[in-house]
Chain A
Amino acid sequence: MIEQVITPDTDSDGDGQKYELRLFVTGASINSIRAIANLKHICETYLAGNYTLEIIDVYQQRMLAESEQIIALPLLIKKMPLPQRRLIGDMSDTEKVLKGLGIAHTS
C-alpha cells in the first residue's frame, strides 16, 4: 500500500530532486560507526550520485540536539525530498531504511 503511494513519488523526485540527508551520530560509538557504514552503503547502492550526506557529531554541536529534536541516536533526517522523515538506529535494517527514505525496493 505504502509502496504504491511512494513509488510514483520517488519516480518524480528521482528526476530532478536530490536526496538531502543528515546523519547525527555521537563520536565514535559502535552504533555510530555502524550507522555511517550502513548508510553509506545503502546510498551508494540506491542513490548513487543523487544525494548529499552530511554527518554531524552531536557531541561537537550540542546546540543542535535541542533545535533538531534529537532524542535517540544515531538519527538520520531526510530533509529532501519532502516529506521529512526521521530514521533512528544503526541502519542495519536495510528494508526499513529504504522504506524510510521512500526509495522503491526493487530487489
Chain B
Amino acid sequence: MSLTSSQKPTQPLPSFPKALTGIIGLDEITGGGLPKDRPTLICGGTGCGKTLFSIEFIVHGAVMYDEPGVFMSFEEKAEELVLNVASLGYDLNQLQQDKLIRLDHVRIERSEIEETGEYDLDGLFIRLGHAIDSIGAKRVVLDTIENLFSGLLDQGILRAELRRLFEWLKVKKVTTIITGERGGGTLTRHGLEEYISDCVILLDHRVTNQISTRLLRIVKYRGSVHGTNEYPFLIDRSGISVLPVTSLTLTHDVTSERISSGIPSLDKMLEGKGFFRGSSILVSGTAGTGKTSIAASFAHEACNRKERCIYFAFEESPQQIIRNMRSIGFDLQQHIDAGLLKFHASRPTLNGLEMHLVSIHKLIEDFDPHLVVLDPITNLITVGTVSEVKSMLIRLIDFLQSRQITVMFTALSLNTIVSEQTDEGVSSLVDAWLLVRDIESNGERNRGMYVMKSRGMKHSNQVREFVITDGGLHLVDVFLSPEGVLTGSAREAQQLQEVTGKALRDYALNRKDREIERKRLVLESKIASLKEEFESVQDELNKAYVEEELRKDVLEKNREQLIKNRHNEQ
C-alpha cells in the first residue's frame, strides 16, 4: 500500500479535513487548523486565554472563512462577551445581526433548580440545534461546559449526556471547541478529555523571573501531524498570536539582489556590491566600536533608496540616536518625517522575550519594512538566557527571511570569552557577520573591521581600519609594515613616511636627469669643438694643396714665359 502510494506521488491522498482558526501561528503548528467537524478540547488554568481563543476561532470563521459560528457561553453573558471582543476590534452585535455569529448565554443557578428525578439534556440539544440551524453554523464553541457540573447534581446523567452531545455534534458536522478548566492531575477538572479524543490543546501561563509567558501545547491531534513543542503565544490588542519556536520548514525564497551597506568601502569588501537582500547581518564588537553607527548607516542608506526601515532600539532613545548620528553626517530625522524610518525603543526588561518577539512581529506586519535593525540583541539577555535569546532570534530570522526583509543585528561583546559565546550562538544563524574590534597598540585604540563571514559571495579577508568622521564611516586599508599591522597614528606616520620617501626619491630622480642633461651638453660641446678643429686642420691641409697647385701653375707659366723669351732672343 505504502509502496504504491510512494510510486505514484502525483495521486493525492485524501487529506485530513481541517478548519482554519485564523489565529496567527496556530494553523502553522496544526498544519491547517483544528479537525473539521470534530470536537477539540482546549484546557488550561484560569486566565490563560481559553475564552479568547475560542471566540477568535468563531469570529475568524465568520469573518474570514465564511463559516458562521455559535458561541454558547456557560460563564459570561452575551453583553460581556460583546464588550470583551470589542477591544479586539470585532463588533459581535453586527456579526449577530448579519447572522454570522450567534451568542447564547446559558445560565444555570444551582439554587433555583430542584432535581426531581430522571432528566436529560435535551433542552441543550434543542437549543444548540436551533442556534446552529438558524445561521447554518459550521463552528460551535461551548465555553465552559463544565459549569454544568456545578449546576446539575446527577453526574451519571451529565456524563452520559455529554458523551451523547459530542457524538451529536460530530453528526451535525460542526467543528467544535470545548473549553475546560484545568484540574489537579488531569487536563480538565471533570475529565472531559475522556470524551474528546480528536484534538486536545493545552494552554499554560507561567511566570519565571517575574516575567510571564503564555504557552500552548497540542497534547494530541488524532490523524494529523502537528508540532509537539510548547509554543509561546501572546495576547495583545489584536488577539492571540502563536509563535512556532522553529518553523517547520526552511523553504523561503531567496534573491540575489544586492543592497549597499551605506559604507562604500565596506561594499567594496563584499565584491563591491554589498549584502544580499533578505539576508541577516550581525555586527558585533566591544563597547564603543561604532556598531550603532554601522547600523544607522545601513538604515540611512535604505531610506535613501526610498525603502522602509524599522529600527528597534533596546539601549538608546530614538532622539539620542538621531542626535548622535547627526554628528557623523546622517540625518535620520528627515526619513522619519518622510515616513520611511520608524524607531521603536523599548527597554528589554519591559516584557518577556516572547512579548518582544510578538511586538516586533506586529510592527513588521503593520509597517512592512525592507530593513529591520535590532540594536543591540545582547541586551535581551537580561530577560532571558542565551539559549532563549537564540531561539527567539531563530524565529525572528525565519520570519524575516520568509518576507525577504533584510535584518541587521548588533551585538555587544564584553570581553573575549563571553562575547564568543553570544556571537557563536547567533553567528551560525546569520548570513553575514561583521566584527568590529579594538586594536590596541602604541598607546591608542583603533577600530578594526573584519568580514568574518558572508555567505554566498567572495569577500575580502583583510582587516580594515574603521574610521568614523564627520562625513560618515569609512574603511581604510591598514598598513602592513615589518613591525606588523599599523593603525591609527602609526598608520598616519607610516603614510607620512611614505610620502617623504616618495618626495626624496622624486628629488633624486630629478637630479639624475639633470646631470645626464648636463653631461650630454658637455659632450655635445666637445663634439662641436672637435668638429671645428677638424675643419681647421682640413683647411690647413687644403691650403697647402692649393698653394702647391698655384705654385705649379706659376712655375708652368714662368717656364713658358722663359721659353718664349728665349725664342725671342734668337
Contacts and interface: CB of A to CB of B under 8 A. Distances in A.
Interface stretch (A6-14, A45-53, A92-100): A92-100
Contacts of A59: 126
B120 A73 contact: yes
B122 A73 contact: yes
A63 to B, nearest CB: 7
B106 A69 contact: yes
A73 B130 contact: no
Interface of A is mostly: mixed
A62 B121 contact: no
Interface residues of A, number: 35
Interface string B88-125: 00000000000000001011100011111111111110
Interface string B138-159: 0000000000100110000000
Given A34-B117, A71-B123, 19 more contacts: A24-B123, A26-B123, A26-B126, A29-B122, A58-B123, A62-B127, A66-B130, A70-B124, A71-B121, A71-B127, A72-B122, A75-B123, A84-B112, A88-B116, A89-B117, A89-B119, A92-B116, A92-B118, A97-B114
B129 interface: yes
B187 interface: no
A71 B114 contact: no
A6 to B, nearest CB: 13
B165 to A, nearest CB: 11
Contacts of B129: 62
A63 B104 CA distance: 12
Nearest to A27: B122
Nearest to A70: B123
Interface of chain B: mostly helix, strand, loop or mixed: mixed
A86 interface: yes
A85 interface: yes
Given A59-B126, A71-B148, A88-B114, A31 B119 contact: yes
B283 interface: no
A86 B117 contact: no
A100 B115 CA distance: 9
B117 A72 contact: no
21 contacts: A26-B123, A31-B117, A31-B118, A31-B119, A58-B123, A59-B126, A65-B126, A65-B127, A65-B130, A66-B130, A69-B107, A70-B127, A72-B121, A75-B119, A87-B115, A88-B119, A90-B117, A91-B116, A92-B118, A96-B115, A97-B114
Contact of B112 (A35, A66, A72, A85): A85
B131 interface: yes
A84 B112 CA distance: 8
Given A26-B126, A71-B123, A89 B108 contact: no
B118 A73 contact: no
A4 B131 CA distance: 43
Interface in B249-302: none
B120 A31 contact: yes
Contacts of A92: 116-118
A58 B114 contact: no
Interface string A13-45: 000000000001010010100110010000000
B130 A62 contact: yes
